[in-house]
Amino acid sequence: MSWFGNLFKKETTSAHIAKDRLMIAIATDRQNSLIPNMDEMRAEIIRVLEKYICINDIEIKKENKGEVDLLEIEVIMKK
Amino acid sequence: MGIVFAVISGKGGVGKTTTSANLAIGTAIEGKKTVVVDFDIGQRNLDMILGLENRVVYDITNVMDGDATLSQALIKDKRQENLYFLAASQTKDKSVLDREKVKKLIDQLKEEFDYIFLDSPAGIEGGFEHTILYADNVIVVVNPEVSSIRDADRVIGLVDAKSHKAKEGERVGKFLVITRIDPDLIEKGEMISTEDILDILSINLLGKVPEDKRVIDASNTGKPVILHESSPAGEAYSRIAKRLCGIDVPFVDVESPEVRGFLQKITGLFK
């Protein structure tokens, strides 16, 4: 194939589709598997919190703030 | 003190055992006293790939349980000086692995050998965790194919979480080996390229192994491709083994059909 043909081929080959799909799938996977045994930890945190306060749900997020990795646990309380 | 390499993958069937066998032979050829251990308890395979299946008397669980000594269980390869093999148990399952016993075994191996390769079971169940527990480096094997790459990302993410070394605050080396690269498919845009895989996984490249029909032939006969003459995959493994021994070997273009065709023509002249 000529270089001219290659120019148009690039965006639509199945390899490129695969890459785009993988980037999205992996980004989602990484978000969901921040910590091994996440579900267990989540359940345990909820158990502890429930001893002291009325809660609706918790949300766990991991963030990178320059030097440190930050684990954010948002507790949504019952009104 | 020896260096421990865990050979891992997310998905099964990507060439982990083939990679373990060939790299172990390759580093032994380079003069390193090498042992390759089959950690796939219950699914012994490495013995067949190495052509040593008839020489297995004691296996890894015999050693860990104290029923045999390490030197009784180690099989010395007759073709390759410096190469030793420790078989997986075929009758037990992965539940027999225990942290303390694994640590003791690996400590023993590190005292006797320069290079220790652990052939991990696929995925993230049971034996996988034990394989990376005391590894200094992990070699992630991947095929240029979506499910293999996605699953690889998962195991790479788990390495630091499960590794003893990472918990102690040290860095675990993570290296990628891409196997079964098909230059014709890459040329046609039907196979994910090396650059794209590295982009997605963001991990250091250790080597690229082209698709090679001789790999099947090699497993049929129990003579790994690195020992075959003019095998593109064998040559790729030989380059990777040299890199592991600290030799600076440039990456070869195994993705372009032209280069491969040219090489085949040259090697064809000497046949």
- Predicted pLDDT of residue B222: 96
Half-sphere CA count of B61, side-chain side, radius 13 A: 17
**271 residues of chain B, pLDDT tens digit each:** 999 999 999 999 999 999 999 999 999 999 999 999 999 998 899 999 999 999 999 999 999 999 999 999 999 999 999 999 999 998 877 777 889 999 999 999 999 999 999 999 987 777 888 999 999 999 999 999 999 999 999 999 888 888 888 888 888 999 999 999 999 999 999 999 999 999 999 899 999 999 999 999 999 999 999 999 899 999 999 999 999 999 999 999 988 876 555 555 555 555 4
Q: Does A5 touch chain B (CB under 8 A)?
A: no
Q: What CATH architecture is B3-269?
A: 3-Layer(aba) Sandwich (3.40)
The span from the CA of B85 to the CA of B238, in Å, is 19
Q: Does B184 touch chain A (CB under 8 A)?
A: no
Please judge whether A15 and B196 are an interchain contact, meaning their C-beta atoms are less than 8 angstroms apart. Answer: yes
Examine the predicted complex and report whether its ipTM is higher than 0.90: no
Q: Does B192 touch chain A (CB under 8 A)?
A: yes
Q: How many CB atoms lie within 10 A of CB B252?
A: 15
Q: How many CB pairs under 8 A join A and B?
A: 44
Best interface-test mutation with A: which of B124, B153, B186 has the largest number of A CBs within 10 A? B153
Which structure tokens are listed for B90? 């075929």
Among A24-33, A55-64, B47-56, B123-132, name the most confident range: B47-56
The span from the CA of B117 to the CA of B3, in Å, is 9
3-class secondary structure, B138: strand
Distance between A52 CA and the closest CA of chain B, angstroms: 31
Whether B204 and B175 have beta carbons less than 8 Å apart is answered as yes
Could you identify the residue written with the tokens 């990302």?
Answer: B153
Please judge whether B153 and A18 are an interchain contact, meaning their C-beta atoms are less than 8 angstroms apart. Answer: no
Please judge whether A25 and B189 are an interchain contact, meaning their C-beta atoms are less than 8 angstroms apart. Answer: no
Whether B75 and B55 have beta carbons less than 8 Å apart is answered as yes
Instruction: Give the mean pLDDT of A69-74.
Output: 85
What are the residue ranges spanned by the domains of chain B?
Answer: 3-269
Chain centroid to Cα B54, Å, comes to: 22
In terms of CA atoms, which chain A residue is nearest residue B162? A36
